[in-house]
């Protein structure tokens, strides 16, 4: 483990930014943390997490896939993919770091999504262990340790600085390039910090949330639960929960008529929308009940079913704080666990 | 308040006046109540709740609920009654199927304001005597309730219930000096370039989640033009940011004259975009061009944009402010 003194954090940022683009959480004009590109003078946000998740780096909300140019009867297909430069993301929390594994399970399996893979290969992820979790956090439910996040490098706040640990080759390389800023240290301060945070997490209201009643192999049981009706009753069918979620991965492909050709792009889609997976035969999920159920079945049953039991939620709590009507995955899980009739 | 509401709801259920109650259901935390329909006394006793964090406007749910079997009881704050009336005027709610209890309101709380004070790990909030004792795993803190009042409530236009079958608490008056156009005036005083930059900046944060549209009681089309693949303008996220801005401008035009300024759009926006300012600009312009008009105040009033008089402004007289 290596230590960086408090005063040298911005030297570290400058050293990275001299070579590649560095993104980190910054407070925006309305005081919310948002990933922005670092340059001299930009300050790291001290908030727990960013309002939008870090998935944007690898799976952006909109992305041009290709273009078509028409001339008479000739159609030219233009590959609009650009070479992706190396970049570094600093300050990713354990939950969001775990969401990358979930996205990988979708986009890096056959057929590999080359757009996603390209960015994934060029990105280095520096995670930042949480110091002050919120009541909406339930990463622990999915076995994610907020005090020991993954990523290429892990950073902990300690009393008089930061402790860094490289976890991968990419991480080693980056630390080697900035080695003169660091000094050697043992893991004592980190252990103390971890104990403190784990103790806080144990006191959080959602600390005892379990995955009882959901998971792989329960498709029929969960699908048929009568509680979906009351759970989905006041859902507005907006897409807020899906758009702030770090693991929601569905997209739509559309064509935009530019007037002198077609731009084919993809953009995030939401299972909460009325035209989601609409086919010529119609909409397979005619009411909000089916759409609502789909979102949670996907995360809590279908995904673990297809992915060795791994759940499609990392417990970041974004949907808890952003849903206009405060309906969310925790309320769904608790209701399903009860087996009652609430 | 909660006790009185629950008591009345139980009585009205018991005597058969209504067969359902639209209210709020308890959450995981002291602040995350979900709108819910209660169908039995047990259900009400079990999970009905009302407190300063019950800010959601329940009117829109009545489009669907008032078409159900029997009568439904709904609790409406003063501002919600304007939305309700407007939906009556637009023939979207069956009035005879709704029993309205107006509830007095001194302003709702905004959790974001508590969070901005650094409060996190919230496990309980004791609300009394104009104070909140916020219990958190990091320690307790007492804050003045007024320091957590939602922005929209600070410029509340009316404490008067414009429609109700009965009231719990006092009815108030229209607030004459609510200052709700202050920020609009500031925007008007900007140069066009400054104003353009202001809105491009604000709207650049939009993630097009549609929360503003879906929560809006004036956005009650069966299928929104932006969701209709045959409309030619359907989009989930824009290819370019200008399109995104158009979504908001078109929406503001579409609700002009029908928006009651309930403030739900700004309340729900995850990106904290001040959408209400677009609507207030339209309200202010209409007041100036066609005379004072408050959507929802009187369901029989003729809406300014739905009425023609010879004295109407010509387009070239414009509102070039
Ligand atoms: S659960 Fe909440 S955020 Fe998600 S679509 Fe429904 S209302 Fe919107
Ligand atoms: S479902 Fe909610 S808590 Fe789970 S990962 Fe998505 S936004 Fe986070
Ligand atoms: S969910 Fe866990 S990892 Fe994510 S911000 Fe909260 S405590 Fe940190
Ligand atoms: S609620 Fe906010 S982020 Fe969502 S579509 Fe409306 S303006 Fe955009």
- Structural domain count of chain A: 2
Contact A238 B229 (CB under 8 A): no
Establish whether residue A317 lines the binding site of ligand 2, counting it when its CB lies within 6 angstroms of any ligand atom. Answer: yes
pLDDT on residue A9: 97
Contact A234 B36 (CB under 8 A): yes
**Cα angle for residues B124, B128, B130 (degrees, 5° grid):** 115
A13 and A97, same structural domain? Answer: yes
Q: For residue A72, tell me if it sits in a domain.
A: no
d(CA A167, CA B90): 61
Tell me the three state secondary structure of residue B284.
helix
Question: What percent of the residues of chain A are helix, what percent strand, and what percent coil, each to the nearest 5?
Answer: 35, 20, 45
Contact A326 B27 (CB under 8 A): yes
Q: For residue A224, tell me if it sits in a domain.
A: yes
Contact A30 B272 (CB under 8 A): yes
If you average pLDDT over residues B281-288, what whole number do you get? 92
Residue A257's domain spans which residues?
219-337
Phi then psi dihedrals of residue A270, to 5 deg: -135, 130
Q: For residue A212, tell me if it sits in a domain.
A: no
Contacts with A199 from chain B: Cβ below 8 Å: none
Contact B237 A274 (CB under 8 A): no
Phi then psi dihedrals of residue A88, to 5 deg: -125, 135
Whether chain B has a CB inside 8 Å of the CB on A134: the answer is yes
**Cβ count within 10 A of residue A24:** 24
Contact A320 B271 (CB under 8 A): no
If you average pLDDT over residues A108-123, what whole number do you get? 95
Contact A134 B121 (CB under 8 A): yes
Whether chain B has a CB inside 8 Å of the CB on A132: the answer is yes
Instruction: For residue range B173-185, list pLDDT tens digits in order.
Output: 999 888 999 999 9
Whether chain A has a CB inside 8 Å of the CB on B221: the answer is no
If you average pLDDT over residues A3-18, what whole number do you get? 97
d(CA B109, CA B153): 9
A108 and A37, same structural domain? Answer: yes
pLDDT on residue A310: 96
pLDDT class for B305, splitting at 50, 70, 90? confident
Question: What are the domain boundaries of chain B?
Answer: 1-108+158-179, 111-148, 181-321
B168: pLDDT strictly greater than 50: yes
- Say what angle helices B182-189 and B276-290 make with each other, to 10 degrees: 90
Q: Tell me which residues have their CB closer than 6 angstroms to ligand 3.
A: A 48-49, 93-95, 130, 133, 137, 139, 146, 315-317
More confident: B235 or B288: B288
B113: pLDDT strictly greater than 50: yes
Q: For residue A181, tell me if it sits in a domain.
A: yes
Nearest CA in chain A to B59: A234
Instruction: For residue range A202-259, list pLDDT tens digits in order.
Output: 999 999 999 999 999 998 999 999 999 999 999 999 999 999 999 998 888 888 887 8
- C-alpha separations of A148 from A190, A203, A211, A246 in Å: 9, 18, 21, 19
Tell me the three state secondary structure of residue A322.
helix
ipTM (interface pTM): 0.92
Whether residue A13 contacts residue A22, with contact meaning beta carbons closer than 8 Å, is answered with yes
Contact A234 B201 (CB under 8 A): no
If you average pLDDT over residues B284-295, what whole number do you get? 89
Contacts with B56 from chain A: Cβ below 8 Å: 324-325
Establish whether residue B178 lines the binding site of ligand 4, counting it when its CB lies within 6 angstroms of any ligand atom. Answer: no
Residue A207, token pair as written in the block? 């600390």
Which residue's CA is the nearest one to ligand 2's atom 2?
A: A319
With a CB cutoff of 8 Å and minimum separation 6, the contacts of A211 are A141, A142, A300, A311, A333
A244 and A115, same structural domain? Answer: no
**Exposed e or buried b per residue across B176-198, where buried means at least 16 C-beta atoms within 10 angstroms of its C-beta:** eeeebbeebeebeeeeeeeeeee
A301 and A268, same structural domain? Answer: yes
B239 → closest Cβ in A200, A263, A342: A263
Contacts with B277 from chain A: Cβ below 8 Å: none
Tell me the three state secondary structure of residue A12.
helix
pLDDT on residue A342: 37
If you average pLDDT over residues B252-273, what whole number do you get? 94
A33 and A91, same structural domain? Answer: yes
pLDDT on residue B308: 84
Establish whether residue B269 lines the binding site of ligand 4, counting it when its CB lies within 6 angstroms of any ligand atom. Answer: yes
A225 and A312, same structural domain? Answer: yes
Residue A327, token pair as written in the block? 């309906």
A149: pLDDT strictly greater than 90: yes
Using most ligand atoms within 8 A of CB, pick from A228, A231, A235 the residue to mutate for ligand 1.
A235
Closest ligand 2 atom number to CA of residue A295: 1
Q: For residue A73, tell me if it sits in a domain.
A: no
B113, exposed or middle or buried, with CB in 10 Å at 0-12, 13-18, 19+?
middle
If you average pLDDT over residues B80-85, what whole number do you get? 97
**Exposed e or buried b per residue across A86-116, where buried means at least 16 C-beta atoms within 10 angstroms of its C-beta:** ebbbbbbbbbbbbbbebbebbbeeeeebebb
pTM of the shown model: 0.93
A113 and A190, same structural domain? Answer: yes
Contacts with B27 from chain A: Cβ below 8 Å: 326, 331
Q: For residue A65, tell me if it sits in a domain.
A: no
* CA–centroid distance, residue B257 to ligand 4 (Å): 21
pLDDT on residue A98: 98
Of B7-16, B23-32, B215-224, B305-314, which range is least confident?
Answer: B305-314
HSE of A263 in the Cβ direction (CA atoms, 13 Å)? 16
pLDDT on residue B307: 84
- C-alpha separations of B213 from A22, A164, B27 in Å: 35, 45, 24
pLDDT class for A278, splitting at 50, 70, 90? confident
* CA–centroid distance, residue A182 to ligand 3 (Å): 27
pLDDT on residue B246: 81
Task: Please state, for a pLDDT cut of 70, what percent of chain A lies above it.
Answer: 98
Instruction: For residue range A37-76, list pLDDT tens digits in order.
Output: 999 999 999 999 999 999 999 999 888 899 999 888 888 9
d(CA B302, CA A195): 66
pLDDT on residue B238: 65
pLDDT on residue B318: 65
Contact A62 B47 (CB under 8 A): no
Concatenated DSSP letters of B117-136? TT--SEEEEEEETTEEEEEE
pLDDT on residue B155: 92
pLDDT on residue B321: 42
Task: Give the distance from residue B202's alpha carbon to the nearest chain A alpha carbon, in angstroms.
Answer: 9
A167 and A233, same structural domain? Answer: no
pLDDT on residue B111: 96
More confident: A117 or B301: A117
A246 and A99, same structural domain? Answer: no
pLDDT on residue A248: 94
A18 and A165, same structural domain? Answer: yes
Of A55-59, A195-199, B174-178, B311-315, which range is least confident?
Answer: B311-315
d(CA A132, CA A144): 16
Task: Give the distance from residue A193's alpha carbon to the nearest chain B alpha carbon, in angstroms.
Answer: 15
If you average pLDDT over residues A264-269, what whole number do you get? 88
Residue A252, token pair as written in the block? 């739509």
Residue B141, token pair as written in the block? 């803190």
* CA–centroid distance, residue B212 to ligand 4 (Å): 5
B270 → closest Cβ in A230, A240, A334: A240
* CA–centroid distance, residue A143 to ligand 1 (Å): 25
- Name the domain boundary from A202, A227, A253: A202
- C-alpha separations of A36 from A20, A45, A52, A170 in Å: 14, 10, 12, 22
Closest ligand 4 atom number to CA of residue B211: 1
A44, exposed or middle or buried, with CB in 10 Å at 0-12, 13-18, 19+?
middle
pLDDT on residue A190: 97
If you average pLDDT over residues A171-179, what whole number do you get? 96
Task: Give the distance from residue A137's alpha carbon to the nearest chain B alpha carbon, in angstroms.
Answer: 9
d(CA A295, CA A279): 19
Instruction: For residue range B35-71, list pLDDT tens digits in order.
Output: 999 999 999 999 999 999 999 999 999 999 999 999 9
Q: For residue A232, tell me if it sits in a domain.
A: yes
A36 and A144, same structural domain? Answer: yes
Concatenated DSSP letters of A233-299? TT----SHHHHH-SS---EEEEEEE-SSSEEEEEEE--TTSTTTT-BTTB-SS-SHHHHHHHHHHII
Residue B92, token pair as written in the block? 């979207």
Q: For residue A113, tell me if it sits in a domain.
A: yes
B141, exposed or middle or buried, with CB in 10 Å at 0-12, 13-18, 19+?
middle
Which of B111, B106, B197 minimizes the C-alpha distance to B154?
A: B106
Task: Please state, for a pLDDT cut of 70, what percent of chain B lies above it.
Answer: 97
């Amino acid at each position: 483990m290596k230590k960086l003194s408090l005063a040298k954090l911005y030297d570290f940022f400058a050293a990275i930014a001299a070579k590649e683009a560095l993104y980190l959480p910054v407070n925006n004009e309305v005081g919310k943390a948002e990933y922005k590109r670092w340059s001299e003078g930009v300050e790291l946000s001290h908030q727990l997490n960013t309002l939008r998740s870090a998935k944007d780096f690898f799976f952006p909300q909109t992305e041009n896939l290709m273009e078509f140019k028409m001339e008479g009867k000739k159609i030219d297909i233009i590959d609009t993919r650009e070479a992706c430069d190396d970049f570094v993301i600093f300050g990713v929390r354990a939950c969001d770091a775990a969401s990358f594994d979930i996205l990988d399970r979708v986009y890096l399996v056959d057929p590999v999504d080359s757009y996603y893979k390209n960015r994934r290969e060029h990105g280095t992820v520096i995670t930042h262990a949480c110091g002050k979790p919120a009541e909406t956090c339930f990463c622990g439910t999915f076995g994610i340790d907020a005090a020991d996040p993954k990523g290429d490098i892990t950073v902990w706040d300690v009393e008089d600085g930061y402790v860094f640990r490289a976890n991968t080759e990419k991480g080693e390389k980056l630390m080697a390039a900035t080695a003169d800023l660091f000094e050697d240290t043992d893991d004592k301060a980190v252990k103390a910090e971890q104990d403190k945070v784990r103790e806080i997490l144990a006191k959080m209201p959602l600390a005892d949330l379990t995955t009882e009643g959901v998971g792989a192999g329960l498709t029929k049981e969960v699908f048929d639960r009568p509680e979906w009706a009351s759970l989905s009753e006041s859902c507005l069918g907006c897409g807020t929960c899906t758009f702030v979620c770090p693991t929601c991965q569905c997209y739509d492909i559309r064509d935009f008529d530019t007037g002198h050709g077609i731009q084919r792009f993809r953009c995030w889609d939401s299972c909460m929308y009325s035209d989601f997976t609409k086919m010529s035969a119609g909409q397979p999920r005619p009411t909000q009940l089916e759409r609502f159920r789909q979102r949670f079945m996907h995360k809590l049953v279908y995904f673990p079913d297809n992915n060795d039991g791994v759940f499609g939620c990392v417990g970041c709590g974004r949907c808890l704080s952003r849903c206009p009507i405060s309906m969310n995955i925790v309320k769904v899980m608790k209701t399903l666990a009860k087996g009652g009739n609430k | 308040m909660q006790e009185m509401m629950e008591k009345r709801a139980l009585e009205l259920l018991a005597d058969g006046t209504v067969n359902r109650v639209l209210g709020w259901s308890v959450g995981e935390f002291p602040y995350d109540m979900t709108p819910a329909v209660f169908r039995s006394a047990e259900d009400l006793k079990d999970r009905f709740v009302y407190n300063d964090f019950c800010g959601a406007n329940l009117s829109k749910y009545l489009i669907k609920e008032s078409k159900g079997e029997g009568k439904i009881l709904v609790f409406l704050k003063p501002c919600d009654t304007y939305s309700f009336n407007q939906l009556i005027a637009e023939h979207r709610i069956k009035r005879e199927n709704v029993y309205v209890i107006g509830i007095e309101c001194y302003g709702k709380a905004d959790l974001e304001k508590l969070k901005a004070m650094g409060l996190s790990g919230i496990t309980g909030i004791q609300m009394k005597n104009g104070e909140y004792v916020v219990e958190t795993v990091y320690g307790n803190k007492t804050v003045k309730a007024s320091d957590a009042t939602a922005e929209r409530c600070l410029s509340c236009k009316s404490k008067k219930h414009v429609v109700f079958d009965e009231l719990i608490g006092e009815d108030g008056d229209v607030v004459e000096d609510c200052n709700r156009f202050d920020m609009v005036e500031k925007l008007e005083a900007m140069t066009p370039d400054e104003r353009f930059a202001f809105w491009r900046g604000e709207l650049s944060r939009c993630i097009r989640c549609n929360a503003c549209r879906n929560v809006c009681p004036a956005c009650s089309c069966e299928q929104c033009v932006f969701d209709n693949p045959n409309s030619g303008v359907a989009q989930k996220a824009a290819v370019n940011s200008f399109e995104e801005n158009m979504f908001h401008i078109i929406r503001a035009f579409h609700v002009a004259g029908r928006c009651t300024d309930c403030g739900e759009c700004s309340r729900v926006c995850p990106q904290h975009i001040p959408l209400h300012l677009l609507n207030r600009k339209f309200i202010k312009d209409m007041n100036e061009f066609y005379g004072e008009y408050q959507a929802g105040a009187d369901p029989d009033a003729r809406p300014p944009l739905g009425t023609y008089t010879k004295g109407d402004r010509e387009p070239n007289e414009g509102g070039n402010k």
